[in-house]
Amino acid sequence: MAIDSIRQMTVEEYFAFDEASEYKNEYIDGELYPMTGGTLNHGAIIMKTGFALMRRLIGSDCQVFGGNVRNRVSPTRYLYPDISVVCGTPETDERSINLFNPVLIAEVTSPSSLDYDRGDKLRYYQSIASLRIYLVIDQQQPLVELYERHDDSWQTEEYAGLDAVIPLPALNCDLPLAEIYAGIEL
């Protein structure tokens, strides 16, 4: 993600601009942030993670969404996570553009986004009442940081190596790192 903002605008101006734009833009407290493209590994890891989650959630009431779904973090913050999962009925605005109730959000890091994904973005996502799981997935090594809500606090666990398996009790499944990183040259 580029951390340089374009200009100040209202939420309504942002919606109009973003929906007419050829690329995605995130919006934080009045500032617009254009999203940049990723590497081949970044894109492959997103797809493999989404596919692994989809396979495990077949037959459940959960749905997996890709990075083209905008999540409302607050009335003044809108982000495009790499992956969102909703269980039950998705809560959206009247046009089904902004998702309000993700249970899981995953971000695949890039060197330029690592600090942001673990810092401000983590805090933004943790403010979503429905969110139970936030995954920060490294694209340079088999490493996933799991942030999981337990009652009113968040616990962090790190999973490293291709033999590691991430337990996701909120989704009633596990997620093996071997599937996230299958075929990826690191």
Separation CA 99–CA 76 (nearest Å)? 14
Helix (H) / strand (E) element for 180: namely helix 177-180
In the beta sheet, which residues pair with residue 105?
84, 134
Check if the beta carbon of residue 35 is closer than 8 Å to that of residue 1: yes
Separation CA 36–CA 2 (nearest Å)? 6
SS3 content of the chain, % helix, strand, coil (to 5): 25, 35, 40
What is the CATH T-level fold of the domain 39-180, as seen in this structure? tt1808, chain A (3.90.1570)
Check if the beta carbon of residue 21 is closer than 8 Å to that of residue 155: no
Render each residue's pLDDT in the chain as its tens digit; 186 residues. Answer: 444 555 789 999 999 999 999 889 999 999 998 887 788 999 999 999 999 999 999 999 999 999 999 999 999 999 999 999 999 999 998 888 899 999 999 999 988 888 888 999 999 999 999 999 999 999 999 999 999 999 889 999 999 999 999 999 999 999 999 999 999 998
pTM: 0.93
Sequence spans of domains, the chain? 39-180
Contacts of 22 (CB under 8 A, 6+ apart): none
Tally of CB atoms within 10 A around 95? 8
**pLDDT for position 6:** 59
In the beta sheet, which residues pair with residue 86?
63
Separation CA 111–CA 89 (nearest Å)? 35
